[in-house]
Chains A and B, each alone.
Chain A
Amino acid sequence: MIDEKEILKKVQESIVEALGVDEEEVTPGAVLFDDLGAESLDLLDIVFRLEKIFGIKIPRGGIQQDLDGALTARGAEELKKRMPEVDGERIVEGFRIDDIPVLFTVQTFVNIVKRSLAEKETAH
């Protein structure tokens, strides 16, 4: 199993490549949309790179699970637990599910990779 530091390093490299940003900007807490100037199509690029590097499959919209509409109060609580790395204050009832990617931080991708690698491990 690759350790988290190694995952972070590769996630950072992928984000630098995909967004053309400087390495120093890509801290674990950096928010992709707000801090690094990403937009949704950049996420495709990042996911593509991570899948190649780690040999994993990240389902598109996996985190939102392709749901439409807005979060319920319970949904918001669930999401906060699921994504402890993002700014919890922004996850409130009524937050649009489509907008979840705007909350993604660099750490979100580290967590996604960790989860995917663990699932891959269990499947074997």
Chain B
Amino acid sequence: MSRRAVITGMGVVSPLGIGKEENWQHLLAGTSGISRISRLNVEHLPVKLGAEVKNFNPKQFITDRKALRLSFLNVHLGLAAAKLAVDDAALPLDKIDPTRFGAIIGSGGGGFDDGPGFEDLNEPILRSWDEEEKTFNSAKFGEKGVPVAHPLFLLKALPNNAFYYISLLYNIQGENNNIISSYTGGSQAIGDAFRSIRRGDADVMIAGGYDCLLTPNTLFSLHAMNLLSGQEDPATACRPFDFMRDGMVAGEGAGFVLVEELSHAQNRGAQIYAEIVGYGNVSSAYHIYQPAPGGDGMSRAILRALEDAQLDAAAVGWVSADGIATQESDRAEVCALKTVFGDRLSQIPVSATKSMTGHLGSASGAIESVYAVLALCQGLLPPTINYEHPDPDCALDLVLHQPREKQIAAALSINQGIGGQCTALMFKKYA
């Protein structure tokens, strides 16, 4: 009998709220988490809207002093969501074999807050500036920059520092990885954790992702690639699959789940939310930032997940779409769904929760997995907001404006990132 992986804990920190309950309420109500960015002075920035996490106090979740002062907001969001997931799972930490406890974490890179450690590097770089050559001068850096460079900068910028603090807090000594990718890290982490459990390399895994796209450098660079919405009204800015969609809205957040081997969860009397039954992870190998137009990559990821789950396409009761709201990506995604589901696609409800959350970078796939599991558990499909002008290229049975009551046996959550990485996760109602 092969090993089965179930989800026993979930934690979310997103622009829709802190904790899965608050997220779910706002999601069902069709509330937008998007607003004018308050953290930055956006007066002269080309981008003014974003999906910020509100009322977040890291000290409510993090007690490690080093984690508080030597890492940035994105990591704090990650640590908070991880704690919410572990608390939700009521994991008896003293009874868990630490060598069979693992962690896989997806992120967008190092601990960057206001740019790539700008606050720490501003002064050293200014002092290293060669006014004549108009360039950074390494000799000046050595002489004048180094003495004012924070000696612990390495620790702040380590790409795996969230992993370190999480492993330390929960004494995680087993299978692990830290996945850096452009937006698929969260779903890849959950997929890989599922495989670790199934393979027998661990009994419990904490898996998820965190990210913050609301930094001046990220906003400017996404805007320069024409990926961000230019709409002015925050609540209606993100319009997945709508004919008038004009780009993503950048955000921030974190989502984590506890993935546990079934008998391990049963033996400790854990609450079981759902089972992970399939994972597909492929690359479209097409373009540095555009999706493959026919949805190749995404379609193969879904087929791979179905095959992995040994499920027929007909078993899929609902799709949590990537729906980032760029013209190209949404169209490619629909092509992929058509390739896999054919004419049956019109009977499969689809939701694009980014219409409310905005794009949460590498947290997206993890947070949307939590939403998918909640939809399975509750028999309620979250809505898609801001869909007003049908696009003939994106003909879908979208769950519009209101949640839809529907008992589903299996949910599919899909994501694609810049650079062609595609993931598909299959969740099944636990019975």
Which residues in A have some Cβ–Cβ distance to B below 8 Å? 17-21, 37, 41, 44-45, 48, 51-52
Contact B152 A21 (CB under 8 A): no
Measured between beta carbons, the chain B residues less than 8 angstroms from A52 are: 148
Judge if B54 is at the interface, Cβ distance under 8 Å. no
Establish whether residues A45 and B68, one from each chain, have CB atoms under 8 Å apart when the complex forms: no
Question: Shortest Cβ distance from B425 into chain A, in angstroms?
Answer: 38
Residue contact A20 to B151, C-beta cutoff 8 Å: no
From A17, A19, A44, A48, name the one whose CB has the most chain B CB atoms within 10 angstroms: A48
Name the residue in B66, B68, B151 with the highest tally of chain A Cβ atoms < 10 Å from its Cβ: B151
> What is the CA–CA distance of A9 and B331 in the complex, to the nearest angstrom?
61
Candidates A37, A44, A48, A51; contact of B65 at CB < 8 Å: A37
Interface size class, chain B: 10 to 19
Which residue in chain A gives the minimum CB-CB distance to B123? A52
- In Å, the complex CA distance between A41 and B66 comes to 11
Other A-B pairs, 17, CB within 8 Å; known A17-B69, A44-B152, A48-B151: A18-B69, A19-B65, A20-B65, A20-B66, A20-B68, A20-B69, A21-B65, A37-B65, A41-B152, A41-B155, A44-B151, A45-B150, A45-B151, A45-B152, A48-B150, A51-B147, A52-B148
Q: In the complex, which residue of chain A has the Cβ closest to the Cβ of B59?
A: A20
A83 to B211, CA, bound (A): 47
Report chain A residues within 8 Å CB of B150.
45, 48
CB distance from A19 to the nearest CB of B (A): 6
Which 8 pairs across A and B sit closest by C-beta, in order of nearness? A20-B65, A44-B151, A20-B69, A48-B151, A45-B152, A20-B68, A45-B151, A41-B152
Q: Please, which residue of chain A has its CB at the minimum distance from the CB of B69?
A: A20
Secondary structure dominating the interface of B: helix
Chain B 152-182 against A: per-residue CB contact (8 Å), 1 yes, 0 no? Answer: 1001000000000000000000000000000
Q: How far, in whole Å, are A76 and B66 apart by their CA atoms in the complex? A: 33
Task: Specify the chain A residue showing the minimal Cβ separation from B65.
Answer: A20
Q: Which residues of B contact A21 (CB under 8 A)?
A: 65
- Name B67's closest neighbour in chain A (CB-CB): A20
> Complex Cα distance A45/B70, Å?
11
Complex Cα gap A20–B66 (Å) = 8
Within 8 A of A (CB), among B264-315: none
Residues of A within 8 A of B65 (CB): 19-21, 37
Cα distance, A48 to B68, chains bound together (Å): 19
- Bound form: Cα–Cα A44–B70 in Å: 13
CB distance from A20 to the nearest CB of B (A): 4
B292 to chain A, nearest CB (A): 47
Residues from chain B with a CB closer than 8 A to the CB of A20 are: 65-66, 68-69
A57: min CB distance to chain B, Å: 8
Report the bound CA distance from A37 to B66 in whole Å: 11
A34 to chain B, nearest CB (A): 15
CA A21 – CA B69 in complex, angstroms? 11
